[in-house]
């Protein structure tokens, strides 16, 4: 599932009128005005006296195939010209015909995979991004449009095998440090690329090719698997800096991505590996503790539904603990996060971070952590959260059905003293996760829906095209009674909301 704004872009690309098929070769022997995205007047005046070639089409198709958009190949008209040094996108304002004009030498170097391959690929993907976003009238929105195209280019580079460091270098090599009227500064562009690159590695992203067809020629669509350590009977997890650790899924064994910053070693959250598998998501209508207000826990809006089968097809890493103040404050100190959230005088350090919004987590903390570690950190999908919280248990709680044992596993209204508590003080569930019941509510990736009727069954997040007004939260908090602490319980909040009951847990995609 595409997780960046390219899902929105597809609607216009699929349905807006296109005047010409890209396979039909024309000779534009006279100058012709097309709307461009990089000039102050918005108009490109490249003479159309050259034709396209198969080499250029192959490079464009590689990008489209890598992100699952190969059916769009004939919607883009390619034309070679000596009047650009790299590539430039333009659109005919009357016919909506979309062009990418390119320099033949630029395309040859791209095809030969020269040393600046990722920078060249970035340029072509960026120009394609303008078309997929259906940028037509700039109206002073130059920076916004450029960053949208950069995010798409970051997504493409990740799907075609670039590391985060290679992706960053691609823009650093060609982007001035300071902003101009038409282009953002380098720092903003690096951040946009990082967000796109991170989204390009999420579980549920589209797979390239169908039964051996339309496969991107010679280009990997995911980072190569880490070499497996000798005698590893688990998953070989690549760590920041290139080390590899063997972790057995479901065992509670943990790993951390650590890096050097100013001579100091900084580490991300401790992670465990959840094994791939199947489970029933939600609860039966007669589950003890479920009330008429919990009818969103099955496949039918209102009464009479049942849990839904979900298949998690890959092992994935999940935070052993809820993210702490110390981990968030490291992001603030490094300039990756803007807000230093209040701790309600309950303490910082190992206390779960609170007063952070979904927007801040996904736009600041996770891109920063991904950039520092070189790995794709993200929020759990709602299905992944419940699957990991249950840890192979279909009971009310991860440890069974009895509320009498709840105090051993979680902080809630009866034992919290009306505040949060340091991460990890209660017993973990069967896969080594602490505080899946209580302490703080945990943001997940999904948009909220009132049932599981139309939600994915592959463990990916439910994110309909466009923004959604409510994001799901899970697990209950220090202020709640036992009912919201059930594994199946769902709640929601606006993505910009903050509160002293709201925190989160991270996930990390791993290469099997």
Collect all residues with Cβ–Cβ distance below 8 Å to 333 and sequence separation of at least 6.
none
Contacts 24+ apart (CB under 8 A), 108-113: 108/55, 110/59, 111/55, 111/58, 111/59
**Phi, psi values for residue 76, rounded to 5°:** -115, 130
The pLDDT of residue 44: 63
Q: How many Cβ atoms from other residues are within 10 Å of residue 87's Cβ?
A: 24
Collect all residues with Cβ–Cβ distance below 8 Å to 218 and sequence separation of at least 6.
none
The pLDDT of residue 45: 60
The pLDDT of residue 409: 97
Q: Are 405 and 415 in contact (CB under 8 A)?
A: no
Three-state DSSP state, 52: coil
The pLDDT of residue 10: 35
Strands (E), 81-153: 87-91, 98-102
Pairing of strands 258-261, 264-267: antiparallel
Q: In sequence order, what are the beta bridge partners of 265?
A: 260
Collect all residues with Cβ–Cβ distance below 8 Å to 332 and sequence separation of at least 6.
338, 339, 340
Three-state DSSP state, 319: strand
Three-state DSSP state, 377: strand
DSSP string, 153-170: HHHHHHHTT--HHHHHHH
The pLDDT of residue 185: 87
The pLDDT of residue 352: 98
Residues 215, 201: Cα–Cα separation, whole Å: 18
Q: Are 337 and 368 in contact (CB under 8 A)?
A: yes
Residues 16, 11: Cα–Cα separation, whole Å: 8
Residues 179, 432: Cα–Cα separation, whole Å: 47
The pLDDT of residue 73: 77
Q: What are the average pLDDT values for consecutive 10-residue runs of the chain, which has 512 residues?
A: 37 32 35 62 58 80 81 79 83 74 87 86 90 70 85 89 88 83 85 86 40 29 46 85 88 93 88 96 94 92 90 95 97 95 97 97 94 91 97 96 95 97 96 97 95 92 79 97 97 96 94 50
Residues 360, 363: Cα–Cα separation, whole Å: 5
Distances in Å between the Cα of 157 and the Cα atoms of 63, 105, 121, 227, 372 are 9, 21, 8, 22, 18
Q: Are 413 and 480 in contact (CB under 8 A)?
A: yes
The pLDDT of residue 39: 67
Its sign, for the CA torsion 26, 32, 38, 42, is negative
Residues 89, 422: Cα–Cα separation, whole Å: 53
The tokens describing 242, both together, are: 């290139």
DSSP 39: S
Residues 489, 438: Cα–Cα separation, whole Å: 12
Three-state DSSP state, 283: coil
Q: Are 485 and 390 in contact (CB under 8 A)?
A: no
Q: Are 34 and 91 in contact (CB under 8 A)?
A: yes
Q: How many Cβ atoms from other residues are within 10 Å of residue 57's Cβ?
A: 17
What's the whole-model pTM score? Answer: 0.61
């Amino acid at each position: 599932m595409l997780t960046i704004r390219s899902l929105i872009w597809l609607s216009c690309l699929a349905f807006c009128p296109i005047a010409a098929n890209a396979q039909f070769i024309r000779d534009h022997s006279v100058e012709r005005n097309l709307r461009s995205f990089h000039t102050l007047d918005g108009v490109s005046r490249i003479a159309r006296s050259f034709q396209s070639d198969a080499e250029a089409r192959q490079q464009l198709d590689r990008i489209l195939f890598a992100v699952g958009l190969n059916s769009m190949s004939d919607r883009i008209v390619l034309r070679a010209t000596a009047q650009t040094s790299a590539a430039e996108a333009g659109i005919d304002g009357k016919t909506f015909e979309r062009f990418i004009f390119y320099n033949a030498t630029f395309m040859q170097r791209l095809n030969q995979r020269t040393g600046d391959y990722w920078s060249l690929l970035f340029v072509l993907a960026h120009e394609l991004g303008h078309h997929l976003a259906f940028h037509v009238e700039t109206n002073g929105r130059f920076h916004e449009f450029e960053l949208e195209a950069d995010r798409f280019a970051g997504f493409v580079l990740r799907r075609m095998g670039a590391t985060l460091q290679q992706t960053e270098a691609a823009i650093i090599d060609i982007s001035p440090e300071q902003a101009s009227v038409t282009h953002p500064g380098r720092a903003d562009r690096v951040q946009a690329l990082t967000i796109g690159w991170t989204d390009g590695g999420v579980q549920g992203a589209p797979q390239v090719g169908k039964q051996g067809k339309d496969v991107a020629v010679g280009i990997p669509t995911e980072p190569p698997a880490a070499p497996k350590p000798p005698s590893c009977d688990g998953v070989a997890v690549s760590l920041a800096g290139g080390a590899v650790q063997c972790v057995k899924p479901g065992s509670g064994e943990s790993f951390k991505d650590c890096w050097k910053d100013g001579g100091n070693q900084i580490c991300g959250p401790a992670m465990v590996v959840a094994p791939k598998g199947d489970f029933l998501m939600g609860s039966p209508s007669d589950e003890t503790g479920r009330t008429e207000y919990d009818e969103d826990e099955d496949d039918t809006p209102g009464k009479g539904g049942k849990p839904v089968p979900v298949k998690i097809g890959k092992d994935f890493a999940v935070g052993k603990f809820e993210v702490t103040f110390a981990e968030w404050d490291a992001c603030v100190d490094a300039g990756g996060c803007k807000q230093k959230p209040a701790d309600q005088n309950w303490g910082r350090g190992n206390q779960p971070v609170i007063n952070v919004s979904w927007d801040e987590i996904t736009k600041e903390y996770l891109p920063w952590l991904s950039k520092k570690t070189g790995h794709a950190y993200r929020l759990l999908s709602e299905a992944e959260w419940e699957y990991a919280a249950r840890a192979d248990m279909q009971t009310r709680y991860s440890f069974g059905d009895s509320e009498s044992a709840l105090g051993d596993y979680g902080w809630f209204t009866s034992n919290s003293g009306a505040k949060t508590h340091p991460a990890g003080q209660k017993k973990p569930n069967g896969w080594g996760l602490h505080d899946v019941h209580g302490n703080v509510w945990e943001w997940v990736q999904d948009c909220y829906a009132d049932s599981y009727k139309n939600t994915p069954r592959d463990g990916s997040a439910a994110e309909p095209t466009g923004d959604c007004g409510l994001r799901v939260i899970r697990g209950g908090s220090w202020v709640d009674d036992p009912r919201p602490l059930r594994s199946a319980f769902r709640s929601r909040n606006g993505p910009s909301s903050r509160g002293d009951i709201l925190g989160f847990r991270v996930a990390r995609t791993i290469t099997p």
